[in-house]
Chains A and B, each alone.
Chain A
């Protein structure tokens, strides 16, 4: 590969890795910290992508549109709508056993895919929505991908710090308490349902933002882009590989798994075309096996969960150590 190719691939890695990392950070709030099963990540991602595309485009008779809002409004609207959807799913399911949430999130993701495929007036169906505006495209021209990489990474860092702040607060400690033992959290007087709902909604917001960033980068979205494999399962593998319950792990996992995923695409592309569809199936089998091996051999992920104790407790144990030493 020549030098330009390497730079081009590097930028794609930063952009896609960054978008997936934002999704994985959202899933980490839900699953990593609170223990909520969301197997419909793709559904929230889809809502973010379509919402932002429809909000920002000029008039187009093939689907709902003509709002012509700025990029930032579209992205935020994508996040907010995904969050509202999470609220709707969370209310009937979060009081029940965890499995019900898992089933309901799969259900909503599949139903959303049916809706965007069949409601032509809204999303142009299988034709998809093209010509999604790329922010500041004319300003950056040929260096556009570099600009977008910076934009995505900035968003990722912002999300990272927002989550870290929340998770190190009393609010974050309640989430972890719920994950470890719901009954205990309930017994000390925490409204478990409300905290779970907040975690679900917050995570979904980030997934919606990730979907919107994806839509504005590729410029064209259709129902095919939101197959459960790409939009949901990959994110799960990323979080498990990186280390659930660790925001740095979510980011690391996103980049590692994306490199593996895109790397196998190069190998598949080099094979004779007759083997193409088979190679695609094999790539997914490989990712599935990666997950199974990870669960069996190193369930805590590459990084594992960070031990977080209260600042006061750390001082206390520090002084105790000092006194033991003296």
Chain B
């Protein structure tokens, strides 16, 4: 009888403890999976170690929540009994549904993270990865390929393989592996090329997390290669002004007819370089020449637009140089230098406005910029002329001053000579 009373007491305490916050549940309940696997070695112990940093464990989940089985039993035959739903290693095909069991359940998910989306599974099956998986290709990426299986961290955690700074590396694990990608008939040099791009420089060198990496253009769960029709929308997400100008430009219809991918055709895709003025015009590096033969209207417009950009750049540099010179000579030209920013803004504006491919519109921006640059140059000229004037004035005054001092000296000698 006394034994039964003890049992009731222990059970009551266990229930009370167990009803605490969710995240403590895993710590409190018996978990024979962790107990046994922690005592094992190698790959059998690795999941226990990895799970220490896992977001799911922090929220109170444990092995059995994904693998099934009965963690309350010590006997391996009982705890890992397939009849109790035990699944040692979920097959790649089963993984999206396994994760989706919770992650696609809005009711369930909002208890843990109301801000998290719940359409990843659905999106996944619209991706090339998902479609191929459905078709039986188990070498494609599933949830665990990118997020990991044990030790999953939230995407904003710097150590997560899907953190902005690590995404490209994660995709490259498969996509840059020539042997692995053999048979898929897509290139495997995207990562190498991406690393040379202006986007990668912004991301890795400036640590600008808003700079795009793979998933910003391809999507993440619904990863697809953007097609000719959609690529402009992809770039336009960030480069809104350029995209809007292009859509309204005469090039839009022409590109559509020729089925050219709008932005990509001139700027490239993975290895998008830093754009330069040399891309426009009729020079060697001009992208216009790939469609416009010498003499046609587009060719002339390109030539004219490049000339305008060059003229503003040249004038800006000239003004900057003369103002720098005046400043080094000690002249106060900070206001003129500040005003020169207006011309610099005009040049930036003009470079964006190229995407309208209209000589007239470009002129409307270049002309005021040129005027500002001219004003800056004149201010520099005036400062240097003033400097010259000061030096001459100084020479004349010094002569006068020295002469006066000499006269006084003579006067002193005269007085003292007579004494």
Chains A and B come from one and the same complex: no
